[in-house]
Structure 1
Amino acid sequence: MRTYENPVIGGFHPDPSVCRVGEDYYLVCSSFEYFPGVPLFHSRDLVHWRQIGNVLDRPGQLELPDDLPASAGVYAPTIRHHDGRLHVITTNVGGGGNLLVTSERPEGPWSDPVWIDLPGIDPDLAWDEDGSCWCAVSGVRVARIDPATGKVLEGPLPVWSGTGMQHPEAPHLYRIGDWWYLVLAEGGTAHGHSVSVARARSPRGPFEPAPHNPVLSHRSTDSPIQCTGHADLVQAPDGSWWMMLLATRPRGYFPQFHVLGRETFLTPVEWVDGWPRIAPVAERHPAPRGAWHPGEPEPVRDDFDAPELAPRWISPRRRPEGSWSLSERPGWLTLTATGDSLDRPGTTFVGRRQQHPDCRAAVRVDPGSGRAGLSVRMDEAHHYDVEVGGGAVEVVARIGPVRQSLARRPVPPGPLTLAVDIRPTDVLPPTVTAADQDAPGIRAGGPDTIGFSVEGPDGAVKLAELDGRYLSTQVATGFTGRVIGMYVTEGSATFDWFDYTSA
């Protein structure tokens, strides 16, 4: 029997929403303070996904000011196909509220935003038989809207408050048979996260809850997959039903730490007596029936030979013209400093999400007379960096209010290779030997070890190894995960290639 492994999209890809157009599936996720916003994926089998773009890919669609806090920005998009067009509705928290964009093609171009005159987050779209468009938001409230103008035509109507758990949010409305179903997230997005369902004959309600709510939750279980919730339903061409949802993979000693953020998982759905029955989310499931489309694997290395940056590359809040170039030194990415520290917004940074617990990222950099490096980032107050400038390479850790240089050594001028190796093994304090590992009072309980090295004319040199728990949601707080990227804080630097491999 063919099987698939969860997560189907690893790394910081939370709040998935999915729709099917013929035999093609399209999926979007939250992007928070990163630009471009709303990553867009394509699949033919629900298992193998490839990012084909970003929905909000130009400043006119997405304004994220420098004073936007980390984990604000773009929340919980919904993607739907109606009347020959794809629609994506989302919330820009701290940047204008709910907005809707459309496109005839998933590759774009996507329209300028239509702002929806409706408070709340996590907006959803559904259409009834007469063509009326309904928008549900956290709360849970439903309004009939004009998607062309954003005007609210009816409501918002309070339709269901969930089962009594905190934070009823992420509502999705579906017309299935003679019923309208409302799928809701409850319990917060941590270990109490869950999925509940209600149904009604009309989107106006009244909604009756499923008798077995919550229909999905991993709370108080020993599953390696936790925080299951924020779900969306999709029907395959063969009639089977599936649920895309977010979850985490915490590691380490109690209370455990998740470092990749909330990831996208897939689980099967059955319908029993008019209600969905959701299978517990396992690390491996029987695959959907039908065609299997692995597609081309994502390139391991980016040599920066293309005319545009690949869609996986993201930057905090903005990526202004003049801060980057692929033509100034052909075959290299040129970055120019717009700020002097990763500890504050406004610094030139181009990165990609860490998607695997065990991985390696390396970059070939020519710092010139500038200062540049490779960073593992959660936010401005939580990042580990290896940087080169002024004739030296240095490893710096920023953890909350503390910033410390942990290693420094001279290097010759010219290109160098900087690397970060992340492995899911415990790290001991440097004064503790392996023989002391089981000694009383010593516990290595972090989720992983983050090691930094430099490779120059004399070969590779390991610079430092750091405990990964300080770059986790449990320490940094917020809704995002790690991003590994290139940065410049002084002058300009060029990058020949970036290499990312998983174990």
Structure 2
Amino acid sequence: MSRTAVSGAEHPIVSGFHPDPTICRVGEDYYLAHSSFEYFPGAPIFHSRDLVHWKQIGNILDRRGQFLRADGRPSGGIYGSTLRHREGRFYFVTTNVGDADSGQTIVTAEDPAGPWSDPIFIPQAVGIDPDICWDDEGGLLLTWTGRVAGTDLHGMLQGRVDLKTGEFTGEPYKVWQGTGRLDFPEAPHLYKIGDYWYLMIAEGGTERGHSVTIARAERPEGPYESCPANPVFSHRSMPSRTVQNTGHADLVETASGEWAAVYLAVRPAGFTPSYHVLGRETFLAGVDWVDGWPVFDEHRYDFTPDATSFEDDFTADALHPRWVSPSSEPEAIASPDTDGGLRLRAPGDGSPGLLCTRVEDLRWEAEAEFAGSGRFEVRIDDRHRYGLVFEDGAVRAQARIGGVSADLGSAEVAAGSVVLRIAAVDCEAETMTAYGPDDIVLALVDGGDVTELARLDGRYLSTEVAAGFTGRVLGVGAAGEVSRLRSFRYAATESAPTE
């Protein structure tokens, strides 16, 4: 499939469920990290030399000591974060909302591909979306949204932290609380640019009212002056835009001395109120400074999107970093099989028991080849999923939507191995109000023959229906005592690049 140039205003630089982007630059190299919620390993990290083409180099939180499983609930786990570099070392701060005792979590590394250090917890800083910055004396400033444990102090807070102990070196204090015109001030990022300290935040929630606002002060403590043009970036009340929910931005100075911003947004489709299925994705905008304030230019970057299609026969020494597990660990679910591929097993830890990869395209097709038995599904969470189960000489199509589960079509198979296919295709709506973002087709592939077992409305696997902060993933897992995954293939089927 040919590659086509796109506008950065309409296409993400990192597609699929990669929300809450945070960026830093070291020389000519850019690094980008994301929240990952209940999926482990957590906090995927990418590298680029030009801001528009990105390659995943790992996951920052790849040991359970860094990312405690805790309650493991959907849309729990790793929330918004900040990635920074200082004096030869990378710093990453985030929140594990499933672990009430850890507060904020900081890990460090010399190489962004890892290994990352054991965590430093800041238990007094309760809340979400932490940022780190250094003051003029080299003190570490933590800014976050939440409260201070054991006190009545809450809101947008800041304090100086001893990185050796995880304790505050003075009393935390309130900083700018946002414009006061929008709900949910959160996701702070603090920068020293020129003579001013700038505090950029998200307001309006991470839905259609999402916005970027900013204020500045002569000291990081404030007092802060709100930008007269706030919000400086938003698509709120612009339903004709193909990209919505823009916000949660992070600034970076480019190697050439210009400025840019990464931000999250979604691509909804279907009849009003429309539905987004890939989760919140990462977009790129140019930034100009006018009269001391940032002006976003979302149309500055045109680029050819990165390839998303891939095949995996699982013969490499280690799993590709794209493979993650909800509320469990990949090694608890999959291990190399002596006959090739992976042996799959149910971990017995109460998790869904799936090895997952993010869906990154609006139209796609994926195939999983199993021997013995196996299951293959596309999901938002355990209550919103469509899939295929191969066991006892048959393949069954299944669906769960909220509290309702259903067995759909089935087919007998004579061979001990099968290829299961799931695809997102154009919606075939009988009425306008049934027009959704896509249809999901569940099928059995036997040589050149394809047996369609079910065709389902894609709206039910959307964030607007399922709620939460994640997006669609494809998951493979065990269905019997002998479940082997021989290979996996994912291909974009729209005008998207292929490898």
Whether these two folds match at TM > 0.5 is yes
User: Deviation at 1:303?
Assistant: 1.2
CA contact (8 A) 2:393 2:416 kept: no
Structure 1, residues 63-118: CA drift from partner, whole Å, max 9, x if none?
Answer: 213x4321011001210001210000000002233100000001111001100131
CA contact (8 A) 1:316 1:345 kept: no
Local SS of the residue matching 2:36: coil
Structure 2 counterpart of 1:318, which letter?
S
Matched, 1:453 2:463: no
Counterpart residue number, 1:14? 19
Q: 2:92 aligns with which of 88, 108, 113?
A: 88
Local SS of the residue matching 2:111: coil
Matched, 1:286 2:305: no
Q: State the distance in 1 between where 2:53 and 2:112 align.
A: 17
Matched, 1:52 2:61: no
Q: State the distance in 2 between where 1:185 and 1:384 align.
A: 34
Matched, 1:99 2:105: yes
Structure 1, residues 269-296: CA drift from partner, whole Å, max 9, x if none?
Answer: 10000000112x45xx4359xxx9x99x
Question: Gapped runs of 5+ residues in structure 2?
Answer: 146-154, 494-499
Counterpart residue number, 1:338? 347
Matched, 1:41 2:41: no
Matched, 1:161 2:177: yes
Structure 1, residues 18-55: CA drift from partner, whole Å, max 9, x if none?
Answer: 00011000010000010000000000011001111000
Structure 2 counterpart of 1:392, which letter?
A
Q: 1:410 aligns with which of 404, 409, 412?
A: 412
Q: State the distance in 2 between where 1:489 and 1:416 align.
A: 13
Q: State the distance in 2 between where 1:63 and 1:489 align.
A: 27
User: Deviation at 1:380?
Assistant: 1.0
Structure 2 counterpart of 1:337, which letter?
A
CA contact (8 A) 1:4 1:47 kept: no
Q: 1:128 aligns with which of 120, 128, 135?
A: 135
Structure 1, residues 103-135: CA drift from partner, whole Å, max 9, x if none?
Answer: 000111100110013122100010122111101
Q: State the distance in 1 between where 2:410 and 2:104 align.
A: 47
Of stretches 316-325 and 54-63 in structure 1, the one that deviates more from structure 2 is 316-325
Local SS of the residue matching 2:169: strand
Counterpart residue number, 1:69? 73
Q: State the distance in 2 between where 1:382 and 1:21 align.
A: 41
CA contact (8 A) 2:313 2:341 kept: yes
Q: State the distance in 2 between where 1:201 and 1:418 align.
A: 60
Counterpart residue number, 1:252? 270
Of stretches 393-402 and 409-418 in structure 1, the one that deviates more from structure 2 is 409-418
CA contact (8 A) 1:74 1:92 kept: yes
Q: 1:317 aligns with which of 308, 316, 327?
A: 327
CA contact (8 A) 2:278 2:359 kept: yes
CA contact (8 A) 1:35 1:315 kept: yes
Local SS of the residue matching 1:25: strand
Local SS of the residue matching 2:230: coil
Q: State the distance in 1 between where 2:330 and 2:316 align.
A: 19
CA contact (8 A) 2:374 2:485 kept: no
Q: So what's the TM-score if we normalise by structure 1?
A: 0.91
Q: State the distance in 1 between where 2:7 and 2:276 align.
A: 22
Matched, 1:494 2:484: yes
Local SS of the residue matching 2:464: helix
Local SS of the residue matching 1:122: strand
CA contact (8 A) 1:337 1:491 kept: no
Q: State the distance in 2 between where 1:209 and 1:131 align.
A: 26
Counterpart residue number, 2:150? none
User: Deviation at 1:489?
Assistant: 3.6
Q: 1:116 aligns with which of 118, 122, 129?
A: 122
Q: 1:194 aligns with which of 190, 196, 211?
A: 211
Q: State the distance in 1 between where 2:343 and 2:449 align.
A: 25
CA contact (8 A) 1:196 1:216 kept: yes
CA contact (8 A) 1:18 1:80 kept: yes
User: Deviation at 1:59?
Assistant: 1.6
Structure 1 counterpart of 2:88, which letter?
G
Local SS of the residue matching 1:115: strand
User: Deviation at 1:381?
Assistant: 0.6
CA contact (8 A) 1:143 1:154 kept: yes
Q: So what's the TM-score if we normalise by structure 2?
A: 0.91
Structure 1, residues 132-169: CA drift from partner, whole Å, max 9, x if none?
Answer: 11010013111111122211112321111101111100
Q: State the distance in 1 between where 2:379 and 2:332 align.
A: 23
Matched, 1:179 2:200: no
- CA 145–330 in structure 1, closer or farther in 2 if over 3 Å, else same: farther
Q: State the distance in 2 between where 1:150 and 1:315 align.
A: 29
Local SS of the residue matching 1:79: strand
CA contact (8 A) 1:376 1:482 kept: yes
User: Deviation at 1:206?
Assistant: 0.5
Structure 2 counterpart of 1:452, which letter?
L
CA contact (8 A) 2:82 2:93 kept: yes
Q: 2:389 aligns with which of 387, 390, 396?
A: 387
CA contact (8 A) 1:337 1:492 kept: no
Structure 2 counterpart of 1:81, which letter?
H
Moved runs in structure 1, 4+ residues, more than 3 A? Answer: 2-5, 285-288
Structure 1 counterpart of 2:193, which letter?
I
CA contact (8 A) 2:333 2:354 kept: no
Q: 2:29 aligns with which of 24, 30, 33?
A: 24
Counterpart residue number, 1:151? 167
Q: 1:261 aligns with which of 263, 268, 279?
A: 279
Question: Gapped runs of 5+ residues in structure 1?
Answer: 429-436
Structure 2 counterpart of 1:421, which letter?
A
Structure 1 counterpart of 2:254, which letter?
A
Local SS of the residue matching 1:140: strand
Counterpart residue number, 1:227? 245
User: Deviation at 1:333?
Assistant: 1.4
Q: State the distance in 1 between where 2:175 and 2:257 align.
A: 29
